[in-house]
Chains A and B, each alone.
Chain A
Amino acid sequence: MSTVDTVTTAAGVAVGPRLRERRDAGRKLLVPYVTAGISADWTDFLTAYEQAGADAIEIGLPFSEPMIDGPTVQEASERALHRGATVPGILADLRRVRVDVPLVVMTYYHLVARDGHARFCAALAEAGVRGLIVPDLPLEELSELEQAAADAGVDLTLVAAPSGTPSRLREIAARSRGFVYAMTGMVTTGERTELPASAAEFATRLKTHADLPVLLGFGVSTPEHAVAGAHAADGVVVASALMRRVLDGAGPADVGAQVAELRAALDAAQG
């Protein structure tokens, strides 16, 4: 990998091939999340997550109106924005880090569209980000961004919800890139004591449509949840449970240790 600071072509690790390879090798996938700009040293979370065994990392670009996020990610977004986080600033931070893990940005459509789809995707790729999730952009409005992401070498990952009809789920599975993001239930993001009851059944249903890895996210909070979710799916995304700790003052090492516990639980369950 290149170690220079200015990169003009797509850098970073491609999402789809890496996740598929690991899934096919029998590994359960773990994708921890961090809100970009949450602290001055926020990119240290990326390194910590990598060392803890993350298979990819989801990076939230904070938006003032996080429509599908519960209180924890809302608070994290507010804090990051309050600290002055901006899209160009975050991407500049990312250009300075090198991790051997695919990076996937999660943000809202307004921040994508205002720069122009092609420019936004090119800027991601230049910063080493090879995946994108836009949770308020449904299939019907997708085509322009889909093309721009493909042109930039960015996997546009779609979110599937339990409310989806079979034909919607099929189309989401067919048009998603990198992986398919399966909502555990009809919920917003947030820590939960129980994994929504619908999670396993939904992941199983979605997997009948998808060749790509299916990852369950929204409310996966504990190693037990991760194991249960990954049993039905190919892995899990963990966000609020980590960000709660960050908001309460935990640094990259502490939160990295929490990710390592999740990793260990997933590996142990695989035997």
Chain B
Amino acid sequence: MGAITAAGLPALLPAAGLMHDPGAAGRFGDYGGRYVPEALMPACAEVEEAFREAWADAGFRRDLDRLLTVYAGRPTPLTPAWNLSAELGVDILLKREDLAHTGSHKINNVLGQALLARRMGRTRVIAETGAGQHGVATATAAALLGLRATVFMGQKDMARQALNVHRMRLLGAEVVEVTSGSRTLKDATSEAMRHWVTCADEAYYCLGSVMGPHPYPWMVREFQRVIGEEARAQCATELPAAIPDYVVACVGGGSNAAGTFAGFAGTAAQLVGVEAAGGAAIAGGKVAVMHGHRSYAIQDEHGQILEAESVAAGLDYPGIGPEHAHLHDLGRARYVTVTDAEVIDAVRRLARSEGILPALESAHAIAWVLRAARDGELPRGATVLITLSGRGDKDTTTLMEIP
């Protein structure tokens, strides 16, 4: 496998201070913060306090680790993509979050938050979902821990991710259809936050990505850090250079990417986040305050947030988590985009070459690697870690409708 190229060394930055505790104000550089109605401020403060306490408590960590191991199936394997690697002339390793219980990385975060909810004495959790993976994970953890779950989901997503709607209901969750705005993740998130106002004293808001008001972007990244830490250790045995040249993950809100990057922020690996071309918060957006934090989002010339447009419900979101905005500004991570057509092609290529059917979301990361290898952007022999955030079973109807 290739050595780290000169281009692979981010010259600019000290590793220290990256992907750390964002402090009481929840700031990642200029981004993050806590922009919520006054009604929710006490609830946010309570979640922060509870998380700080729990995260410093060895007992909580032990309980979570045990669930991640015996229930969620961690550690997930690191699988070389043998055939695709040979075809492309780069060495690809897949971090197999698709093999985690419920079929995606979302379970990592949800088990952490559900344990926290129980620790806080809550009997009910609420959540938003796009692809339904976070909703399924929430319904799952709620079933396990004896919590009631209410999941908000856009009408458009309920149709295209119908399988996950059924799964949530089978698991005992209530799924609430959201018909406002674009009827996707953006609107499901707004609706979940509105609902939280009405029940903050009894319900815990289990947010699904590295977004929302402080402490969520930080807390969710910490709960997803396990992806990056495992991958880092696995790369150390798998790769002669121990660290891959490139670390690539898809970005909706950015939780699988943040968790992955957290394991490599202090290394020489180049970090690449792949957004949907139709929801490219960084490539096509500007600074915005939305859903409780300051970050980037696509918007019109008057500041109204635009509707995203992606074949992948989980990336069909106009914004991005605040820590990614910060990593972008620092130049520590790059954010690129791929089109729906490239994504569909990537699903098929990975399925046929490796026998792994990725989620449409995860296929964004694959698609960028396919393009970058073809264009010579990835040097021959480069080592590439891709987080395969989820499996594609939920997308088979969507894929069947595409010729």
Contacts and interface: CB of A to CB of B under 8 A. Distances in A.
Interface of A: 63-71, 74, 78, 81, 86-88, 108-111, 113-114, 135-141, 158-165, 168, 172, 183, 186-188
Interface of B: 25, 33-43, 180-181, 186, 190, 193-194, 197-201, 286-292, 294, 302-305
Contacts of B201: 163, 186
A74 B187 CA distance: 11
Per CB-CB distance, the 3 closest pairs between chain A and chain B, nearest first, are A161-B39, A64-B304, A110-B289
A181 to B, nearest CB: 9
A183 B197 CA distance: 11
B289 A86 contact: no
Contact of A87 (B25, B40, B302): B302
Contacts of B290: 65, 110
Contacts of A141: 33-35
Contacts of B292: 136
Given A140-B34, A163-B39, A164-B38, A111 B305 contact: no
Interface of A is mostly: loop
Nearest to B196: A186
A162 B42 CA distance: 10
Contacts of B288: 110, 114
Contacts of A187: 197-198
Nearest to A172: B38
B389 to A, nearest CB: 26
A111 to B, nearest CB: 5
The residue in A64, A74, A86 that gathers the most chain B C-beta atoms within 10 A of its C-beta is: A64
Interface of B is mostly: mixed
A69 B197 CA distance: 11
A138 B304 contact: no
A161 B287 contact: no
The residue in B25, B41, B43 that gathers the most chain A C-beta atoms within 10 A of its C-beta is: B41
Contacts of A114: 286-288, 303
Contact of A168 (B41, B289, B294, B305): B41
The residue in B43, B190, B286 that gathers the most chain A C-beta atoms within 10 A of its C-beta is: B190
B190 A110 contact: no
24 contacts: A65-B305, A67-B37, A74-B180, A78-B181, A86-B302, A87-B303, A88-B302, A108-B289, A110-B303, A135-B38, A136-B35, A138-B34, A138-B37, A138-B38, A140-B25, A141-B33, A158-B38, A161-B38, A161-B39, A164-B42, A168-B42, A186-B201, A187-B198, A188-B194
Given A81-B304, A86-B302, A65 B38 contact: no
Contact of B190 (A65, A87, A168): A65
A163 B303 contact: no
A136 B289 contact: yes
A26 B230 CA distance: 68
A84 to B, nearest CB: 9
A65 B39 contact: no
B181 A64 contact: yes
A136 B289 CA distance: 9
Contacts of A113: 289, 294
Contacts of A158: 38
B303 A186 contact: no
A158 B41 CA distance: 14
B197 A109 contact: no
A78 B305 CA distance: 12
A133 B331 CA distance: 36
A67 B198 CA distance: 13
A63 B306 CA distance: 11
A183 B302 contact: no
Contacts of A172: 38
Contacts of A78: 180-181
B38 A67 contact: no
